[in-house]
Amino acid sequence: MQAIRSILVVVDPQQPAGLALKRAKLIAGVTQSHLHLLVVEKKQDHSAYLNDAKTALEQEGFSVSAQQNWHESPYQTVIAVQQAEGCELVIKQHVPDNPLKKAILTPEDWKLLRYCPSPVLMVKTDTPWTNGIILAAVDVGNRDNEHRTLHASIVSHGYDIASLANATLHVISAHPSPMLSAADPTFQLKETIEARYREQCAAFQAEYDVSNERLHIEEGPADVLIPYTAEKLKAVVTVIGTVARTGLSGALIGNTAEVVLDTLESDVLVLKPDSIIAHLEELVAQR
């Protein structure tokens, strides 16, 4: 996160609290990043609002640019501007869809998490990050190269946020419940599953300097345990990875990051593996 040079901040004149901008100022104040303000709107002109916001930020010493834009849909607009401006982070306030609409249509914020090549910080509360708990969610049981790289990114970003906010990093990893039908006997008994995970966690803890007090190993589905642990710890930010599953399986099941977005009470930073980022950038370029 220290390497971020430019941040895309999605601002909404209808949300006077400006939660996304508050988080952007906190990060840019430490990283010296440029702030690019974006109003996603097709009809009404918001140039006066953007000029006022830009002037106020410049007077505070920030490097700022601003624009209003529209490309087919809100999430496509954000991604098009993120790519055009070369922003390494997108910050947006999350406004949940109503349950009926969500049952029929994939929410815009889900699509942004799924298709945006850069990390996305969804801001949900105005709770200060300072001296808080940062929760990094990983799948220690998945040791393939893509997940190992993603874990490194999740923990690294978690430590970066903890550093800039003088906060403490905790890590959550869920493991599956026993399955008598599992081909590997290890996954047929609760005791052997826990032993396997504890063994893998020991290596993970040594690699990323995570103490026993800050590591939470739980049995069950990640989309239930992550919000539960975040609430128990009163986490201010949850850092989570997604493999950006698309197509029918993604539409039916939803990625963990998308499913927990509405249930988490904290801000949510969503990251992707490098291979997924490269693929998404190709897709954007082809449009």
pLDDT in tens, 66-84: 999 999 899 999 999 999 9
Q: Is 205 exposed, middle or buried (0-12, 13-18, 19+ CB in 10 A)?
A: middle
- Evaluate whether 6-93 and 133-286 have a shared fold: yes
Look at residue 258 in the predicted model and tell me its pLDDT: 72
CA distances from 268 to 198, 211, 231 (A): 27, 23, 13
Provide the CATH number for the domain formed by 133-286 in this structure: 3.40.50.12370
Q: pTM to 2 decimals? A: 0.85
Q: Are strands 235-241 and 267-271 parallel, antiparallel or unpaired?
A: parallel
CATH of 6-93, one of 3.20.20.450, 3.40.50.450, 3.40.50.970, 3.40.50.620: 3.40.50.620
Domain ranges of the chain: 6-93, 133-286
Q: Which residue has the tokens 């989570």?
A: 240
Look at residue 249 in the predicted model and tell me its pLDDT: 39
Among candidate residues 139, 136, 202, the one with its CA nearest the CA of residue 169: 136
Kindly indicate the confidence band of residue 275, based on its pLDDT and cuts at 50, 70 and 90. low
pLDDT in tens, 7-60: 999 998 888 668 999 999 999 988 899 999 999 988 888 999 999 999 999 999
Other beta carbons less than 10 A from residue 28's beta carbon: 25
**Cβ atoms of residues 21 and 92 within 8 Å:** no
- Strands (DSSP E) contained in 148-285 are 168-175, 215-219, 235-241, 267-271
Top pLDDT among 95 and 113 is at 113
